[in-house]
Amino acid sequence: MATEKAWGGRFTEDLDEVAGRFLVSVEVDKHLGAVDVRGSIAHAEMLCAIGVLREDERDAIVAGLQKIGAELAAGTFHFDPAREDVHMNVEATLTERIGPAGARLHTGRSRNDQVATDMRLWARGACEQVASLVDALALALCRRADEELDTLMPAYTHLQRAQPSRLSHHLLAYVEMLDRDRGRLWDCRARLNESPLGSGAVAGTTFALDRERTAKALGFDRPMRNSIDATGDRDFLAELLAALAITQTHLSRLAEELVLWSTQEYGFIEMADAHTTGSSMMPQKKNPDVAEVVRGKTGRVVGDLVALLVTLKGLPLGYNRDLQEDKPPVFDAVHQVSMCLEVLERVVLAMRFQREKMRRALDAGFVNATEVADYLVEKGVPFREAHAVAGRLVARAIELRTDLPGLSLDVFREEHPAFDDGIYPVLEPERAVERRNIVGAPARARVKAAVDDAIDRISNRKKT
């Protein structure tokens, strides 16, 4: 690979060919082309405003950058690996096309503050993109929850049937997780929305740059306060990766349940043919491969976070070339999480719930045992005593090979005299669920209100 002589008069020989291949980053950072052009236009406009560029030079630079931007968008811009990175490709191409004015664009600017600005612009857009996909999946879950308000199922702890609940309530748990995921992305967006542009290589510049102007032009809240920090840290990317890793972990939990629920052992859902695959040997198989791959990508996204943290952990201030390695994990994590969100939205909308199987699951596992204890508490029995009585009754039912409703009243009264015929209606799953009528619980009215609130909350914020 041919390489250009490195940075002018200080060097007397070309960069070693192997070293050049080792340092080149254009295949990765070319994804920053659009934001690099945007930042350069803002910088050129500011240089003209403070008298560094003439108006005709500014106009030539802006027009040239806009043309390059159009080529980047169309995929027709030619990247030369000998020019090392996206920034030098854009600047060198501009200078070739418009002449000396292009060479003046970099006045008062370093690649250090340039790339930091590009990454903040790109990360801000990534937060918005992923947040929108999070909302889309959350709305899909809300839609299914609204359709399944009358579908009962066990709630689980330790993968054991625990108490009667409602499918909608279960789905809304993921909506709450996604709501926090979206909040973390938006918090990250707020913290990263400061402009490094004008910080130079590490200590600013002698030119009287109007940093407030470029910050406003690029949609930043303010210029960053410290030039060393502005160019030498990537904690905003670590925060983005942490938010993405948590989001992906939640998606993995959802995917895990889709895998479990689609088994014959559970039989709670049937995934659409469009989201499953067959076996190369066993013709009867319908494998939940989409959900499995979502689950499998979680290690990759968590690994992206770890990779960046390890890159950052030993760096002295300010900029170090190690920071070139910030881009692959960030670009990868955003891409992977975005794909997983998009495909899970489709899976959720297309899958079919096996309502009868879910309801029958309430007939085994003694999920109404807590109702026995609560019944006694309402009769004035201390809870710990009531809990022990309910446990003994479960043991009696196991011994007699029946369930709690199958026990006679005499057996109930042998364990405690407070029992009467009123115990049997309490054990019905429908009644047990409706008795849980407090905020955050699965009574139908509470769940319906929660669905409506979630849809309203998500839909309104999508407009802002």
Q: Collapse the DSSP code of 4 into the 3-class scheme (helix H, G, I; strand E, B; otherwise coil) and give the result.
A: coil
Catalytic (active site) residue 158: yes
Q: Which of 335, 324, 330, 312 is nearest to 115 (CA)?
A: 324
Q: Give the CA distances from residue 301 to residues 66, 81, 218, 360, 435, in Å, rounded to whole numbers and listed in that order.
A: 34, 28, 29, 38, 42
Q: Three-state SS string across 251-320, please?
A: HHHHHHHHHHHCCCCCCCEECCHHHCECCCCCCCCCECHHHHHHHHHHHHHHHHHHHHHHHHCCCCCCCC
Q: Which one of 279, 335, 408, 459 is the catalytic residue?
A: 279
Could you tell me the two tokens for 94? 């501009």
CA distance linking residue 290 with residue 286, whole number of Å: 11
Annotation says 279 is catalytic:
yes
CA distances to 134, 182, 278, 345 from 137, in Å: 5, 11, 26, 5
Q: Which is catalytic among the residues 132, 158, 199, 227? A: 158
Structure tokens at 154: 């066990």
Select from 356, 407, 330 the least CA-distant residue to 127.
330
Which among 51, 30, 49, 221 has a CA at the least distance from the CA of 118? 30
Which tokens sit at 105?
């664009």
What is the dihedral angle through the alpha carbons of 373, 379, 382, 383, rounded to the nearest 10 degrees?
20
Q: Write out the two tokens for 75.
A: 């995929």
Q: Which residues are annotated as catalytic? A: 158, 279
